[in-house]
A and B are shown apart, each in its own frame.
Chain A
Amino acid sequence: MIKLTIGEKVWQAAVYTILILLSLLCLLPFLYVVAVSVTPESEVLRRGIVILPESFTFAAYKEVFISHGIGQAYKITLFRTIVGTALNVLFTVLAAYPLSKKYLPGRSPFLIFIVFTMMFSGGLIPTYLLVRSMGLLNSPWVLIIPHLISAFNLVIIKGFFEQLPAEIEESSRVDGASELQSLWRIILPLSLPVLATISLFYAVGHWNSYFDAIVYLNDSSLMPLQVVLRNILLNVATQSADSMANSGAVSQFAVQMAAVVMTTVPILIVYPFMQKHFTKGVLLGSIKG
């Protein structure tokens, strides 16, 4: 290793300091949210700003569970994320496979047909009127069906299939495998990294989206987690009168923070597993897209 000059050492110190500060800036809001959500109100009144609470209470969490129906919201969000992602990946792969075959007659008009939708869309209102006329309003499927395939993800998977060596598939075909068999036994196992990445993109999209639920649903028992959190944050009166009964025990602020924690924790749990894949995913996406 080459010896560093004093100037370079100062530079290194500055770089490390900036990066540490930036990391703290990303982490501290979470720590504060967690601290507020578990600190009893009496301690807040006594001590002022609480970063490290002396005593704990889960009253705020209880309040979120009981009065804001967050259990039901979890169910809807889990349904949306699991079923939605599975269907997304299934239909995207089914379409990407034929489109990856350069010999398929009609391939390029089909591709143009699909890619064009990435550049031009009818927009919010015509889409809303379509969904309404299909009778999908107030059905949980409205969170899944209108986003069945992302053209962008389709193009990424197609690109990945294309660069797999054709000989592997050909040899399986010579052995008598059908198209579906070679897709299932040869292509998919070779494509696990890209499938993981795309599943991740779809799943995060489902977990995080809230706008379609606001537009297409009005039954509060169908509202996903993000919408419930939004209502709590914006102080929109929710569900039952229970919240009135409990409101003396915990501060509104603690309830809001508990709701933030409950919505964030599932992401924090899966994050270490996702992290392996996504760097590759971003690069793939940016190169192919």
Chain B
Amino acid sequence: MQAKLAADAIPRSQKRNSWIRTIQKYKVMYILLFPALVYFAVFKYIPMAGIIIAFKNYNLALGLWDSPWVGFKNFTDFINGVYFWDIMRNTIIISLYKLLFGFSAPIVLALLLNEVYTQWFKKIVQTITYLPHFLSWVIVYGLMVALLAPGDGLINMILKENGVQPISFLTEPAWGRLLVISSEIWKDIGWGAILYLAALAGIDPSLYEAARMDGASKWRQLWHVTLPGIRGVIILMLILKLSHILDAGFDQIFMFANSFNQEKIDIIDTWVYREGLERLKIGLATAVGLFKAVIGFILVLAANKIAKKFDGQIW
């Protein structure tokens, strides 16, 4: 068989033969791979083909093929719709805030933990701050209810005892975004810090010794040793996060949004769910989903390209 594969000029019939032989040779491998290929083809690629719905006036009774084509009407309807600017603004603002604060908070935590030399204390703090990451958004919302509910929530009880009017944090539009962003930080600050802690552990301790010898203060050490030491990781993470600027966090917002605060925290994904599956504007909602997917795809490709430039420096 080896000899046959190596031969330069193989007649066509024999060429096909060798192709079959290759498959036979790696038969087990292809059989192992097969279920995964079927899975991705069915559950990922068929829905991708399904985006043609975005160009149709989809009607559940008529189905995919018989629903009439409408060209780009769904897209122009979306862009001209009254809600367009609201949900775009909400999505981008919430994402940017999450990027700004949700991104820097774990770095600060990692820097603080890096200052701790008592190992058991460091471990305990880490164990406690990782924990919320493993809770669902439903549970986190439950904890928010415990703290913020208008009647019995802890904070409102305290406000009432001090003669202050209770605040409906969970329904007041003005509190919506703050709630979304602060709960995100609460949930993921410890988890996000893991990566930076690993990077910090990789900094050569002799650099700090040298800085101390030169009389550098804590701030100077932070500025000239620590931050340059983890700059690569920070930049990489920032680029990767930027590629998700249209993902403001569906599971979270879907839990936190209600008819009162929706105007401030409704995002593209929650809108698509409501319009598509609750109000059955299937063509329109699919078009919006596609709009988001295409922009997301472009951003991911761009981010990967930029991230590659930093590659050598990071790993």
Contacts and interface: CB of A to CB of B under 8 A. Distances in A.
A20 B141 CA distance: 24
A168 interface: no
Nearest to B233: A286
Given A123-B290, A210-B136, A128 B277 contact: yes
B100 interface: no
B289 A98 contact: no
A16 B273 CA distance: 45
Interface string B122-145: 001101111110111111011101
Contacts of A179: 28-29, 32
B290 A275 contact: no
Interface stretch (A54-62, A159-167, A237-245, A256-264): A256-264
Given A121-B293, A123-B286, A23 B129 contact: yes
A97 B112 CA distance: 41
A127 B141 CA distance: 27
A253 B128 contact: no
B50 interface: yes
Nearest to B111: A15
Interface in A228-275: 229-230, 233-234, 251, 253, 256-257, 259-260, 263-264, 267-268, 271, 274-275
B218 A95 contact: no
Given A22-B129, A29-B147, A126-B48, A209 B136 contact: yes
A204 B134 contact: yes
**What is the predominant secondary structure among interface residues of chain B facing chain A?**
helix
Contacts of A29: 143, 146-147
A174 interface: no
Interface residues of A, number: 90
Interface stretch (A63-71, A109-117, A190-198): A109-117
B75 to A, nearest CB: 14
A125 B272 contact: yes
A50 B218 CA distance: 42
A163 B292 CA distance: 36
B112 A126 contact: no
Contacts of B22: 105
Contact of A260 (B48, B113, B146, B254): B146
Interface string B252-293: 001100100000000001001100110000100110011011
A83 interface: no
B303 to A, nearest CB: 10
- For B136, B191, B195, B285, which residue has the most chain A Cβ atoms within 10 angstroms? B136
Interface string B276-315: 1100001001100110111011001100000000000001
A256 B127 contact: no
A148 interface: yes
B33 A226 contact: no
Contacts of A176: none
B251 A16 contact: no
Given A123-B51, A125-B285, A282-B194, A95 B64 contact: no
A75 interface: no
Nearest to A286: B195
Nearest to A268: B131
A278 B131 CA distance: 11
A115 to B, nearest CB: 10
A187 B154 CA distance: 52
A188 to B, nearest CB: 13
A207 B133 CA distance: 13
A126 to B, nearest CB: 3
B43 interface: yes
A23 B124 contact: yes
Interface string A33-62: 100100000001000110000000000000
29 contacts: A19-B112, A19-B113, A25-B186, A26-B190, A95-B33, A99-B33, A122-B50, A123-B286, A124-B273, A125-B277, A126-B51, A126-B289, A130-B42, A146-B43, A148-B39, A149-B36, A179-B29, A179-B32, A209-B136, A211-B251, A211-B254, A227-B138, A229-B139, A233-B138, A233-B145, A251-B152, A257-B142, A264-B139, A279-B194
Interface of B: 22, 26, 28-30, 32-33, 35-37, 39-40, 42-51, 53, 64, 109, 112-113, 115-116, 121, 124-125, 127-132, 134-139, 141-143, 145-147, 149, 151-152, 154, 157-158, 161, 186, 189-191, 194-195, 198, 212, 217-218, 250-251, 254-255, 258, 269, 272-273, 276-277, 282, 285-286, 289-290, 292-294, 296-297, 300-301, 315
Given A29-B146, A125-B276, A179-B29, 7 more contacts: A15-B112, A19-B112, A26-B186, A120-B294, A122-B47, A179-B32, A209-B251
Report, nearest first, the 4 A-B pairs whose CB atoms are least far apart. A122-B47, A126-B50, A123-B289, A95-B36
